[in-house]
A and B are shown apart, each in its own frame.
Chain A
Amino acid sequence: MTPDTLETLQAARAARRPVALLTRLPDGAQRLHPDEALPDALRDAAEAALRDDRAGPVTAGEETWFVQPQVPSPRLIVVGAVHVAQALVPMATAVGLAVTVVDPRRAFATEERFQGDVTLVDEWPDDALLALRPDSRTAIVTLTHDPKLDDPALDVALKSEAFYIGALGSRRTHAKRVERLTEAGHGAEAIARIRAPVGLDIGAVTAPEIALSIIAQVVAARRGKPL
């Protein structure tokens, strides 16, 4: 790999721009999609690799190429810059999620409380989520326990294609939440997308344990093994 190719790949990663690296085997000649015009077979293979986020070899005429997609990290949007969120952020980062923490309360979403690779947003959750435009590569977790903050976020989340929606709170809290969301016009099927009580049932007690249970559930959803 040339240093130029490396720089292009890293610039694409930083800009969250999907790019596929194609390497001819065994001589190592490299091309980039969509940056360079490619023969149809290679272009199609690169498109498929990006769509499925799956690397693999492709044969084009006499040649074998290895196609490696580089797609933007899936995102995790955390509503509520609370204690559990502080434990959640480094775990989410470690499993490859790009994390945004949303909390309009000034004392919570501070750089002192959240260090490392995380985006902090101090807007109201519905405004923040609308601006972040959650898609099918986005997970959303509400942690505030406060309907004033959680409900507007869940309202936006349920209208999105987010691959995971989780809400902290007991079964009783969630039953009341379901009533409010139903009154707000959400159907039972939509509301059933919310994982609540949030996280896998591993008997979590402490903030890091709860964060671990949530992250495990998010990973399972992302890998198509919902638990």
Chain B
Amino acid sequence: MSGTEDILETARAWRAEGERVALATVVETWGSSPRPAGSRLAVTGSGRLAGSVSGGCIEGAVADVAKQVMESGAPQLLDFGITDERAWEVGLACGGKLKVFVEPLA
């Protein structure tokens, strides 16, 4: 189903306040990923977060990339949890695997 929380509305409000904003969206999942495709996380240049793309495991990493994306203006497609071993490295303890697309709101 569509997101119940209106993350885009939050992103719009932040932008209206003069914040730089990036949007991260789960575009594909495998295994036990906690959030379905279409889940969104909005990030501002000042570090505010709304929504989620996982159970909290990878939001920090995604927020770091979001800042790069705001700087460069170029979107990035991120892979998380290629193997269970690496899943630990990026913090996906569940062993799930997902792709997250990060784009500037600009």
Contact = CB atoms under 8 A, between A and B. Distances in A.
Interface of A: 1-3, 6-7, 9-10, 13, 23, 25-28, 53-57, 66, 68-71, 73-74, 94-96
B74 to A, nearest CB: 8
Given A3-B106, A6-B11, A10-B12, A25 B77 contact: yes
B36 A23 contact: no
A57 B27 contact: yes
B101 A23 contact: yes
B106 A53 contact: no
Interface residues of B, number: 26
A92 B27 CA distance: 27
A70 B2 contact: yes
B8 A69 contact: no
A3 B21 CA distance: 11
A55 B77 contact: no
Contacts of B103: 1, 23, 28
Contacts of A2: 106
B28 A56 contact: yes
Given A3-B106, A26-B77, 9 more contacts: A1-B23, A1-B104, A13-B6, A53-B1, A53-B2, A57-B27, A68-B25, A69-B38, A70-B2
A2 B27 CA distance: 19
Contacts of B9: 10, 13
Interface string B1-27: 111111011011001000000010101
Given A25-B101, A68-B25, A96-B1, A56 B106 contact: no
Contacts of A27: 75
B76 A26 contact: yes
Contacts of A3: 15, 105-106
Counting from the closest, the 10 A-B pairs by CB-CB distance are: A96-B4, A55-B38, A28-B75, A26-B77, A55-B37, A66-B27, A28-B103, A53-B1, A68-B38, A70-B2
Given A6-B11, A10-B12, A66 B106 contact: no
Given A13-B6, A55-B36, A55-B38, A26 B11 contact: no
A160 B25 CA distance: 36
A96 B105 CA distance: 24
A146 B64 CA distance: 57
